[in-house]
């Protein structure tokens, strides 16, 4: 009996060891394949996309930009609907990828360039064998069999089949290249993290202050140092392109801020201003030039960003200590911090980071910036005042006449939500301009509204 017990124990230990080894091997394989995509495949595809777009006419480029913006807007709308639909039938109706809705529009562009399509398809075919072989070598090295779907295709096979389509290439976003494993899983993770950590994090000003102070003193200087050193790689023209892009980004922020605070702002709508259209086109051209620089110096950028990543373990230990000292879930805080650090590891973000203004970097703000949206405006019968980024704070919302006389107090108390919505009934108000003042702990914002019955 003792012998049988000993044998069973050894079997259990051996099985557990094998399971842990397989887990490590799977983890290492995934990490290596991801790195291969980031370093080899995605930069190659981005270069092909740049070459293809260069051949398009100005009208085609404008149409493509509009399609990309529509996809971005629909994706946001889609995400909201998915979170509201918990039943299977509701989720099933929205499984179809958003880009498919734009298929006929993008076809009009690609169908006009058969030679470019053929050239790109040949590029994928020629490189796919090399890419597939090297990805398989990673699995073989770790003694891992690639997972396959019911059609016996690996994840890489599915990706390359999709990527061989010129329509996909033009609509692909190199700034967010990864193919999501599951939209449902991403939303589940988001909602889980939101419930578990983000609300508590927003209510903990001490934690926010300590994390930001640590980042400003330890993380941002390292990034600034690497970015300063990288300047020696760039020529004068490239530096000028990057600096111009930085300035345009600042102008864009100011334009949107002014529009956001104006009486013409309508939530969910594009600004009806030709200056915005010109700005968007100008920004897109500028960012395309920056991406070309990123592609041309991809090897050097990887070298400098790897120096930044080499500090990650050290930073994580310190931030974990800060989180635990504030009775906060350390993993939740680290998840947020990793997301912000990854921003610096993307080639374009690394190029655009300005080391001369590193003290102004706000990437490590733990809470959202306070925002106020009033819609619709002008107000006919009723409106909603949305206060965003004031979770855990005292909030006072008051309506004034344009002369400054108090009309009514719309809300007063401690807000527990990341997005607070206050209703405004305008049926008893005269047609006129009014002022809404929002006061929170440490901030005050005013908005003009126009009442038109």
Least confident of 262-266, 325-329, 424-428: 262-266
pLDDT band per the 50, 70, 90 thresholds, residue 150 = low
Q: Determine the Cα–Cα distance for residues 187 and 373; give it in Å rounded to an integer.
A: 25
DSSP element (H, E) containing 72: helix 58-84
Q: Determine the Cα–Cα distance for residues 271 and 439; give it in Å rounded to an integer.
A: 27
Q: What are the pLDDT digits (tens) for 423-436?
A: 998 888 999 999 99
Least confident of 50-59, 178-187, 241-250, 401-410: 178-187
Domain boundaries, the chain: 371-451
Most confident of 354-368, 379-393, 426-440: 426-440
Q: Which of 174, 135, 171 is nearest to 34 (CA)?
A: 135
Q: What are the pLDDT digits (tens) for 17-49?
A: 434 444 456 667 877 888 888 888 888 898 999
pLDDT band per the 50, 70, 90 thresholds, residue 202 = very low
For residue 77, the model assigns a pLDDT of 55
Q: How far apart, in Å, are the Cα atoms of 418 and each of 237, 330, 354?
A: 44, 21, 31
Q: Are 405 and 436 in contact (CB under 8 A)?
A: no
Q: Which residue has the higher pLDDT, 209 or 244?
A: 244
Least confident of 168-182, 322-336, 337-351: 168-182
Peptide bond into 74 cis (omega under 30): no
Q: Which residue has the higher pLDDT, 59 or 400?
A: 400
Q: Are 351 and 344 in contact (CB under 8 A)?
A: no
Cβ-in-10-Å burial (0-12, 13-18, 19+) of 114 comes to exposed
Q: Determine the Cα–Cα distance for residues 185 and 194; give it in Å rounded to an integer.
A: 14
Q: What percent of the chain has pLDDT over 90?
A: 10
pLDDT exceeds 90 at position 228: yes
Average pLDDT, the chain: 75
Q: Which of 218, 208, 215, 192 is nearest to 323 (CA)?
A: 208
CB neighbours of residue 139 within 10 Å:
19
Least confident of 43-57, 252-266, 345-359: 252-266
**What is the crossing angle of helices 42-54 and 274-296, to 10°?**
130
DSSP element (H, E) containing 317: helix 312-325
pLDDT exceeds 80 at position 306: yes
DSSP sequence for 170-185: HH--TTS-PPPS-HHH
Interstrand relation of 406-415 and 382-388 (parallel, antiparallel or unpaired): unpaired
Q: Which residue has the higher pLDDT, 80 or 428?
A: 428
For residue 15, the model assigns a pLDDT of 43
Backbone region of residue 437 per phi and psi (left: phi > 0; alpha: psi in -120 to 50; beta: other values): beta
**pTM given for the model:** 0.44
Q: Determine the Cα–Cα distance for residues 367 and 204; give it in Å rounded to an integer.
A: 9
pLDDT exceeds 60 at position 446: yes
Q: Are 326 and 206 in contact (CB under 8 A)?
A: yes
Q: Determine the Cα–Cα distance for residues 64 and 80; give it in Å rounded to an integer.
A: 25
The fold for domain 371-451 equals: Immunoglobulin-like (2.60.40)
Q: Which residue has the higher pLDDT, 192 or 390?
A: 390
pLDDT band per the 50, 70, 90 thresholds, residue 281 = confident
For residue 234, the model assigns a pLDDT of 94
């Amino acid at each position: 009996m003792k012998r049988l017990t000993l044998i069973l124990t050894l079997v259990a230990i051996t099985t557990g060891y094998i399971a842990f080894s397989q887990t490590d091997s799977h983890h290492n394989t995934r990490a290596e394949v991801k790195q291969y995509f980031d370093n080899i495949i995605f930069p190659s595809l981005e270069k092909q996309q740049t070459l293809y777009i260069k051949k398009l006419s100005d009208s085609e480029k404008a149409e493509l930009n509009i399609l990309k913006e529509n996809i971005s807007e629909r994706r946001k709308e889609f995400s909201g609907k998915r979170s509201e639909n918990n039943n299977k039938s509701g989720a099933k109706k929205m499984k179809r990828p958003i880009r498919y809705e734009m298929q006929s529009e993008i076809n009009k562009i690609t169908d006009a360039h058969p030679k470019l399509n053929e050239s790109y398809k040949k590029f994928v075919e020629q490189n796919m064998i090399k890419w597939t072989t090297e990805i398989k070598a990673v699995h073989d090295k770790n003694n891992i069999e690639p997972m396959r779907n019911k059609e016996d295709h690996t994840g890489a096979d599915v990706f390359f089949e999709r990527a061989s389509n010129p329509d996909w290439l033009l609509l692909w976003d190199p700034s967010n290249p990864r193919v999501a494993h599951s939209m449902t899983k991403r939303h589940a993770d988001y909602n889980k993290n939101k419930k578990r950590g983000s609300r508590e994090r927003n209510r903990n000003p001490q934690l926010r202050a300590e994390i930001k102070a640590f980042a400003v003193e330890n993380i941002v200087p390292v990034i600034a140092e690497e970015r300063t050193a990288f300047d020696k790689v760039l020529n004068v023209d490239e530096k000028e392109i990057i600096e111009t892009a930085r300035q345009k980004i600042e102008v864009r922020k100011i334009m949107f801020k002014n529009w956001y605070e104006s009486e013409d702002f309508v939530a969910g709508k594009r600004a009806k201003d030709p200056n915005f259209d010109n700005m968007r086109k100008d920004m897109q051209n500028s960012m395309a030039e920056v991406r070309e620089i990123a592609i041309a110096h991809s090897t050097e950028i990887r070298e400098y960003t790897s120096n930044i990543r080499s500090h990650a373990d050290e930073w994580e230990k310190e931030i974990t200590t800060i989180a635990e000292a504030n009775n906060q879930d350390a993993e939740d805080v680290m998840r947020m911090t990793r997301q912000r650090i990854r921003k610096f590891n993307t080639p374009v973000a690394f190029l655009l980071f300005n080391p001369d203004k590193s003290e102004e970097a706000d990437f490590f703000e733990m809470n959202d910036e306070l925002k106020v949206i009033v819609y619709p405006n002008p107000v006919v019968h009723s409106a909603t005042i949305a206060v965003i980024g004031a979770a855990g704070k005292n909030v006072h919302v008051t309506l004034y006449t344009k002369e400054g006389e108090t009309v009514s107090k719309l809300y007063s108390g401690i807000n527990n939500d990341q997005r607070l919505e206050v209703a405004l009934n305008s049926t008893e108000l005269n047609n006129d301009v009014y002022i809404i003042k929002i006061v929170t702990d440490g901030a005050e914002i005013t908005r003009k509204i126009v009442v038109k019955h």
